[in-house]
Structure 1
Amino acid sequence: MTSLHTNPLFARLADSERILVAGAGGGFDIYSGLPVALSLLHQGKEVYLANLSFSALAGLPADDWAADDLAVVTPDSAPHQSYFPERTLAQWLRRHGYPPTVYAFPQTGVRPLRAAYQALTELHGIDAVVLVDGGTDILLRGDEAGLGTPEEDLTSVAALAALDGVPNRVVVSVGFGVDAYHGVNHVQVLENIAALERDGAYLGAFSIPRATREGALYLDAVAHAQHHTPEHPSIVNGSIAAAVRGSFGDVRFTERTRGSELFVNPLMSLCFAFDLPGLAARCLYLDRIEDTHLMRQVHSRIAEFRESMVTRPPRTFPH
């Protein structure tokens, strides 16, 4: 049991020495984990970064692969690719004097992803994993009114849930509200968090203040990524960064959101932390995707599950 003045997530990681911070859902998800990763680095931990990738990893040369389905991305990787969040992050890391390597997993099913995680954890002797989702659909168990885009997130959860050789595995969700566009009902997200609290799997929440070193660096990293990926900037991290800056309401930072109304607010800058095995235990369909090898199998298994499920009706905030 921790004291109120102690952050439960960092208390949980206090005895860990080599920590992997990984983006769960592809794209720029690893950026959502930067504040936590940087804080751990500043505490003197060895921190490694990885991301489930939407980049064209298949074109990387053989020397850029540490193992099957485990690419090593550096600032100089695939310079011809305009969209490569992992490389863009590696360039930002080098610019600020941090280790400039980001590992990348191609989109696969649970079995290959777990093997890649196993290889990475063995390569560096990882004793803790922080799996980060930019959004909240990683917290959905399967019977909600809408699941958002859970395929990559829950593939990552399933891959790590059985990685018992890593004693400390946690999930961090940041960007509360950004998944409303994809049909997530956030009252049900709060209901799930309450259930995880009852299960003892909720590790509390904390904000990313812009006045902190990590908050300022996160804002700089997001701005750097937006500048270097102007045609496809991250809406999720753009929203989180806007919230960290204190913006509110329908904030415009990219043409990609034209025609939709955003609701940037302070809740988007909160990091909600959870015990990963505890979160995995509440997912109603994790067993159905356990033996998948391809991401399209994950898609079809979840769709089949949803066809047989009576979902909880959506609810609105009462205040």
Structure 2
Amino acid sequence: MDGGTDILMRGDEAGLGTPEEDLTSVAALAALDDVPERLVVSVGSGVDAYHGVSHGLVLENIAALERAGAYLGAFSLPRATREGALFLDAVADAQEQTPDRPSIVNGSIAAAVRGSFGDVQFTSRTRGSELFVNPLMSLCFAFDLPGLAARCLYLDRIEDTHLMRQVHSRIAEFREELITRPARRIPH
């Protein structure tokens, strides 16, 4: 489960977000051939625009995953459901446990689940930035993990790493070798 959509980036996009933790998890799980069902779920579409993720390219990547047979569909997390209520409770509990550093990602998704829209400020950590909380943040996109892993252009370069700084360096080295796809605006 990934909060945001940077897990869907192949590596050749103009902005990758913060892929280090996401893709080390994908690489580890992709290597487990004896696990029959491996899924990736992405929730919080739009939340990682702050980190340079182009959501036009996210949609392009989802379309490519559909063509490859790796997109499994989407579902929402409405607040009126048991799952939505449990999610909101979990986020509230986590924020109580970390009052000085609440998760911006989870807070944004929770605000969307509650029906908030626009520049919803729920922590001083986002002061000075404009948020765009919206209903798409409460959608969960599901993917076949091996299919997603097969589309990552640098996964083989991080397989033998042990430290997060090694992962970061390997991704940076990979990106120096290519011309990135420019960000795409969603035209509507």
TM-score normalized with structure 1 length = 0.58
How far is 1:226 from its partner? Answer: 1.1
* Structural RMSD (CA): 0.6
Aligned counterpart in structure 2 of residue 156 of structure 1, from 22, 25, 33: 25
- Equivalent position SS for 1:196: helix
Q: Which runs of 4+ in 1 moved over 2 A?
A: none
Amino acid at match of 1:255: S
Q: Which has the larger radius of gyration?
A: 1
Alpha-carbon displacement from aligned partner over 1:11-63 (angstroms, at most 9, x marks no partner):
xxxxxxxxxxxxxxxxxxxxxxxxxxxxxxxxxxxxxxxxxxxxxxxxxxxxx
Equivalences for 1:265-276 in 2 at 5 Å?
Answer: 265-276=134-145
Aligned counterpart in structure 1 of residue 70 of structure 2, from 197, 201, 206: 201
In the other structure, the counterpart of 2:104 is 235
Matched, 1:249 2:108: no
- Equivalent position SS for 1:298: helix
In the other structure, the counterpart of 2:180 is 311
Matched, 1:139 2:8: yes
Inter-partner Cα distance in structure 2 for 1:271 and 1:249? 20
TM-score normalized with structure 2 length = 0.99
Aligned counterpart in structure 1 of residue 87 of structure 2, from 192, 198, 218: 218
Inter-partner Cα distance in structure 1 for 2:78 and 2:12? 34
Larger RCO, structures 1/2 (Cα 8 Å, 6+ apart): 2
Equivalences for 1:1-319 in 2 at 5 Å?
Answer: 132-319=1-188
- Equivalent position SS for 1:167: coil
Q: Identity of aligned pairs, percent? A: 87
How many residues were matched structurally? Answer: 188
Higher strand proportion, which one? 1
Unaligned stretches of 5+ in structure 1? 1-131
- Equivalent position SS for 1:287: helix
How far is 1:224 from its partner? Answer: 1.4
Inter-partner Cα distance in structure 2 for 1:220 and 1:256? 21
How far is 1:294 from its partner? Answer: 1.7
Inter-partner Cα distance in structure 1 for 2:77 and 2:51? 24
Amino acid at match of 2:119: D
